[in-house]
Structure 1
Amino acid sequence: MAARARGPNRMRFWLTALATGLAAGYAAVGFRMAIFELQTFLYGADDVTLATTLASAPWYLVLAIPVLGGLVVGVLLHRFTHDGKVHSVTTVIEGAALHDGRVDRRAGLASALASLITLSTGGSTGREGPVVHLGAVISSWVADRIRADGMTARDLMGCAAAAAVAASFNAPIAGALFALEVVLRHFALHAIAPITVAAVAGAVVSRLHIGNVTEFHLPVSQLAFYVELPAFMLLGLLSGLVATILVRSVLLAEAVADTVTASLRIPRWVRPGISGFLLGLLALGFPHIIGVGYETTRSALLGEFGFWAAVVLVATKVIAVALTFGGRMGGGIFSPSLMIGALTGLAFGHVATALMPGVSGTEALYALAGTGAVAAGVLGAPLSTTMIVFELTGDWHTGVAVMLAVSLSSALASRLVTRSFFLTQLARQGKPIARGVQDYVACTIGLAALIRPLQPGDAPRAAALMAEGRVLEEGARLDAAMPLFRDGAVPVLAVLRGAEPVGLLHEADALRAFSAALVKAGREEHS
């Protein structure tokens, strides 16, 4: 029986949700501490001082560590994943939508370790994606242990994601919103309460072991006057373009790397090492691109870069992120988008304050708005991104400016990509999750329960359907059948096992199953 059934099992579900949140919170804190320890061992500095330390480090050290890290990642992924790729937030969204709230645990653990090595050895990505996926691995294990149904497993996955984000960034409100807005992609009441509890549990774990501190310490800023708001609208549009460039650069790098490695027959385990070499070369001139980048983000939020320095760092960071993802190294895209956003906002702020010195605020204020605006365009998550900027900085005085920039960036970027970086990746894999449940629910319905076994008089009909090419394999899903029904005049298909027909699939049965699945999904999203 599912853990969410009425009766005493409801209490068990709440306890399970809390335990899942605590476990995901500890996993996120442990992941963060492990990066600190390994990075300090290799570079002699953590991410807060890494760029400054690398500026005076020996060139061979800057070059060698990312290469070695990439090779280790390549061997690890080659050995423990079927496709040689790191699994991250995209996989979690897919698991929630298509796989009853579950992800592959073996590949998930390998991906977490690969991301840990990547982030500790110079990969230019972030830690939020790995911890969200690690939380999903935990929730999948729990869901299997309690034999949870799809809705319960998805809610537990949301709990784990919320707790992981909350613990990683000490941001419980943003963690809960991220789980609802990005992972589950709905705000059903049955999910909000347990996810909020899990997010609070994750934040408590973080504060017990790391402290109740914001990630970035900023001076309190004030919006100069409402006449300045049009400038933040322009910043939002610019940020949407930058977010689009970042997303498309990563996708282009992945496509180019796929083509090059295939044409040159480069072993897939070598690919991350090549990426590490290119990152090391780039870091010789621009050490700011190495690692998560919080030192550079903090400096940008404090207005410590000039206009051209900020512009150049935006370009080099985009290249570094594309190289990291294109090389199939680990990590997430959220932290890089924060850094790129802060630098974009700072560069825009230099221009705005020069043009309007009498009415404008500080450059740092624009950097803060840009931080959320670019991240929102990349993640397709304006609510959670706005909130996480506030929680990371502790600056709640600039809410109007941040919200305005975030909303316009999200609106523009969602039209230039498939809603977000994650959903664009899924769309390129042929998984139309961005278009809504009506487009992907058929992917979740197997044909086994819908097939009518062949009767003695059905053999001639099955042979005729086979001759017309109106056939499906027995293991196919309903999404493969629906186009065949739409394109043909005969409302029946032959189902094959190998080359032999084993049954018939009638359009009426397919539509009945499709309708039932839509009703079930609608009830889950509105209950």
Structure 2
Amino acid sequence: MGIERLQAWIYGTDDILTLHSFAAGLDWYWVLLAPVAGGLAVGLLLHWFTDDGRVRSVADVIEGAALTEGRVETKRGLVSALASLITLSSGGSTGREGPVVHIAAVISTYVARALKADGVTGRDLLGCAVAAAVSASFNAPIAGALFAMEVVLRHFAMHTFAPIVIASAAGTVINRLAYGGVTEFSLPAQNILEFYVELPAFLMLGLVSGVVAAVLMRAIFWTEDLGDAVQARAGLPRWVRPAAAGLLLGALAIPFPHVIGVGYETTSLALTGGLLLHEAVVFTVVKVAAVAITMGGRMGGGVFSPSLMVGALTGLAFGLMATAVFPDVSGEGTLYALAGMGAVAAAVLGAPISTTLIVFELTGDWQTGLAVMVSVSISTALASRLVSRSFFLTQLERRGVRLAAGPQAYLLGTFEVESVMRGMEAPRAAPEEACWAMIGEGTYLDRTATLEQAMPLFEKTNAVFIPVVKLGGGDRPPQLRGALFQVDALRAYNRALAATAAEEHS
């Protein structure tokens, strides 16, 4: 509703589904300047209220679930939600699911803090909030519940299933009371699959979709790196960056208004066969560029809706070629658009199960499940080899947060050595003389270091303990605070692994 009202004020229409058709009739300078104004507002917001000028998104929610007991940043989260609202209302080429998921996480964080919830309860509350938000946003109760478990919590523990399903159902009820329970996309006719003969084509579509998904993700990361380099070299203030991205996006939208907003209208055209082959190919390339500019320019928004549009266009282009080459054994070209939509989105999100169900629930077409599942499975398997499992996990990997490899890889980074070390006055403390000798040799740990940094040092030195110091700075000598024993580090790590396993299998 917020997007509709702000969009109506900027563009003169509150219909999100037909924004690009309406924008095509506006004066060129309005199409150019609207994203610039939105980008400038976003840049100033992020400059004033965040320390890094970055919009918080689904990746931060996944990090919160794994590392901070289901909590996320609240102040920066609210600012990010406002920034994404402005981006989506002013023509930003992103989606609404990222902001929706993150604002749900912010709400669950406030609740968890009020209840003083432990880590397990905090993560359960987070899962419930995310499931309800996704369900209310897309009218997709089954997919909303599975998205929360598959993407955010990254496990399917039995104790989380009931509350998450109830929350997801509640979100769907709210959606249907407000919007009537209609599907996002309407397909013109029943899709028919020539099962055994046509399945190899959907395997090939899965491969193509996996490559397209990887290109989309890498384009975003490349644009972000390019923006960082240009900003640093030119010495530009960070609030200028979203405005510059808005300028590029507006210039691209003048000949191609299809890139404005979430792209539901173009996605619907692809699913109903309303585009020609060359249009599907060109719109795919242009949309990838627009998404990369918007997200690389730090304007805000999510990546799910754009991946649906890119996937539908990719699938339609593939389907038009396949049905032209083999007209006697091929079904409808629109079936390929449906399968491609799921395949690209699943590869980007790293969520084959929930994405497959979202596609079914968004379209209301449950009869073509085999084609969608085949394409989704192949695309996800391929794209996960080209990036770190998914778009969100690759985002975290680029920040140094290694969640893709599982708890055994990231749990060490959750322990500061000061919380595990033995103080100098503790029973069975390390000999002080030996500690100073090791410090003199350069073998020590800063008290703010983590076990992730300590374990390689144990491996390298084969020491039983390593001194922990507080660095004095300047010419002041370090202060000896204690020593980290390898056995204590391993014990803390094993306990964390056991607790994680117990939660995931409870």
Q: Does 1:324 align with 2:294?
A: yes
Counterpart position of 1:346: 316
Q: Distance in 1 between matches of 2:129 and 2:150?
A: 14
Counterpart position of 1:129: 98
1:330-379 deviation line (CA, Å, top 9, x unaligned): 00000000000000000001101101111211111110000000001111
Query: Which is worse superposed, 419-428 or 484-493?
Result: 484-493
Q: Does 1:459 align with 2:427?
A: no
Select the residue among 387, 391, 402 that pairs with 1:421: 391
Counterpart position of 1:187: 156
- Superposed, which structure 2 residues align to 1:220-239 within 5 Å? 220-239=190-209
**AA aligned opposite 2:496:** A
Q: Does 1:524 align with 2:497?
A: no
Q: Does 1:257 align with 2:227?
A: yes
Counterpart position of 1:411: 381
Query: Which is worse superposed, 109-118 or 454-463?
Result: 454-463
| Residues paired across the two proteins, number | 495
Query: Which is worse superposed, 498-507 or 277-286?
Result: 498-507
Q: 1:362 to 1:384 in 2, by over 3 A?
A: same
- Superposed, which structure 2 residues align to 1:370-381 within 5 Å? 370-381=340-351
Q: Distance in 2 between matches of 1:164 and 1:487?
A: 48
Counterpart position of 2:6: 38
1:161-210 deviation line (CA, Å, top 9, x unaligned): 11110000000100001001100111110111111111011111111111
Q: Distance in 2 between matches of 1:208 and 1:391?
A: 17
Segments of 5+ residues of structure 1 without an aligned counterpart are: 1-32
The alpha-carbon deviation at position 457 of structure 1 amounts to: 8.1
Q: 1:462 to 1:225 in 2, by over 3 A?
A: closer
Select the residue among 142, 157, 170 that pairs with 1:173: 142
Query: Which is worse superposed, 463-472 or 275-284?
Result: 463-472
**AA aligned opposite 1:38:** L
**AA aligned opposite 1:81:** T
Q: Distance in 1 between matches of 2:66 and 2:458?
A: 24
Counterpart position of 2:475: none
Match of 1:151, SS state, is helix
1:68-100 deviation line (CA, Å, top 9, x unaligned): 000100010111111110000000001111111
CA contact (8 A) 1:221 1:397 kept: yes
Query: Which is worse superposed, 50-59 or 517-526?
Result: 50-59
Q: Distance in 2 between matches of 1:469 and 1:492?
A: 14
Q: Distance in 1 between matches of 2:442 and 2:81?
A: 44
Q: Does 1:104 align with 2:73?
A: yes
Match of 1:449, SS state, is helix
Counterpart position of 1:506: 485
CA contact (8 A) 2:136 2:173 kept: yes
- Superposed, which structure 2 residues align to 1:367-516 within 5 Å? 367-455=337-425, 458-498=431-471, 499-516=478-495
Counterpart position of 1:247: 217
Match of 1:493, SS state, is strand
Counterpart position of 1:92: 61
CA contact (8 A) 2:430 2:465 kept: no
The alpha-carbon deviation at position 463 of structure 1 amounts to: 1.4
The alpha-carbon deviation at position 56 of structure 1 amounts to: 1.7
Counterpart position of 1:11: none
Q: Distance in 2 between matches of 1:210 and 1:476?
A: 51
Q: Distance in 1 between matches of 2:121 and 2:412?
A: 20
Select the residue among 266, 282, 293 that pairs with 1:312: 282
The alpha-carbon deviation at position 459 of structure 1 amounts to: 2.9
Q: Does 1:301 align with 2:271?
A: yes
Match of 1:494, SS state, is strand
CA contact (8 A) 1:65 1:121 kept: yes
Q: Does 1:119 align with 2:119?
A: no
Segments of 5+ residues of structure 2 without an aligned counterpart are: 472-477
TM-score, normalised relative to structure 2: 0.96
Q: 1:62 to 1:200 in 2, by over 3 A?
A: same
**AA aligned opposite 2:111:** V
Q: Distance in 2 between matches of 1:121 and 1:210?
A: 23
The alpha-carbon deviation at position 280 of structure 1 amounts to: 0.2
Match of 2:419, SS state, is coil
Q: Distance in 2 between matches of 1:40 and 1:356?
A: 46
Counterpart position of 1:73: 42
Q: Distance in 1 between matches of 2:342 and 2:295?
A: 22
Q: Distance in 2 between matches of 1:379 and 1:171?
A: 16
Counterpart position of 1:4: none
1:402-460 deviation line (CA, Å, top 9, x unaligned): 01100000011011111000011111111110001100011222333322112498332
Q: Distance in 1 between matches of 2:162 and 2:268?
A: 33
Q: Distance in 1 between matches of 2:290 and 2:152?
A: 26
TM-score, normalised relative to structure 1: 0.92
1:104-140 deviation line (CA, Å, top 9, x unaligned): 1000000000000000001100000100000000111
Q: CA RMSD in A?
A: 1.1
Would you identify which runs of 4 or more consecutive aligned residues in structure 1 move more than 4 Å? none
CA contact (8 A) 2:105 2:126 kept: yes
Q: Distance in 1 between matches of 2:264 and 2:8?
A: 15
CA contact (8 A) 1:125 1:333 kept: yes
